[in-house]
Amino acid sequence: MFTLPTLRRSLILTALLAGAAHAGTVSVAVAANFTAPMQKIAAEFAKDTGHKAELSFGATGKFYAQISNGAPFGILLSADDTTPAKIASEGKGVADSRFTYAVGKLVLWSKQDGYVDAQGAVLKTGKFQHVAIANPKLAPYGLAAEQTLTQLGLLEQIKPKFVQGENIGQTYQFAATGNAELGFVALSQVMEDGKIKSGSAWLVPSSMHEPIRQDAIVLNTAKDNAAAKALMDYLRGDKVRAIITSYGYAF
């Protein structure tokens, strides 16, 4: 015979087990620039929903190639809007699931305090050996950096000084370790809680490059995955938007 406290504990345990039984997992391919916010979002997502997001970080172009070759990702959080559109048009993703989860911002950054001025005039001095940039064929932030230098009329002059990263994560490492005095990186990599964490930076005006609209899409492998649906809904919520904004993104 159950006493009241024992019965209460039993009911709570049953409810917890039922919740765990309904919790799911989704594999998420995440653009490298979104590493820090997505790690925080995934932790909150697990706490709030019980679902788990398994994260892989890398270049959007590489993820597209892997998805085309059958990689079992459930969601792509792209660094652009063209790749998810292409995936949808090719029938590899759920077209009506696609939406812009963030708009990225490009920044010229140095780990040295005072090295980069607020107008980016350091680029015109030529007094540096290397500039880190992501591969523009694979990474939208790399393409935006090239477009910026073209607007400034400096692309051909600076191109010989490029140190090219496979993705924006590797590009940041080149600048953070000092292998390049300057780096065109995502604002999210050097900002937290609305402030530049260290070093010096020039926030590139958005008018100098195409908008970096970052779209999410559910891939066909996860079209019936409850965790995938839950994460896509979660990404639209106010809590997540506050996290994303704190890393320098817009909407």
Q: Minimal CA–CA distance to 145: which of 91, 95, 186?
A: 186
- Is 196 annotated in some ligand binding site? no
Vertex 103 angle, CA 99 and 104, to 5°: 135
Task: State how far the alpha carbon of 109 is from the alpha carbons of 26, 34, 71, 158, 182, in Å.
Answer: 34, 17, 34, 16, 6
Q: Is 125 known as a binding-site position?
A: no
Q: Alpha carbon 216 to chain centroid distance?
A: 10
CA 54/CA 27 separation, integer angstroms:
5
- Single-letter amino acid, residue 70: G
Residues in binding site: 60, 168
* Residues of each annotated binding site for molybdate: 60, 168
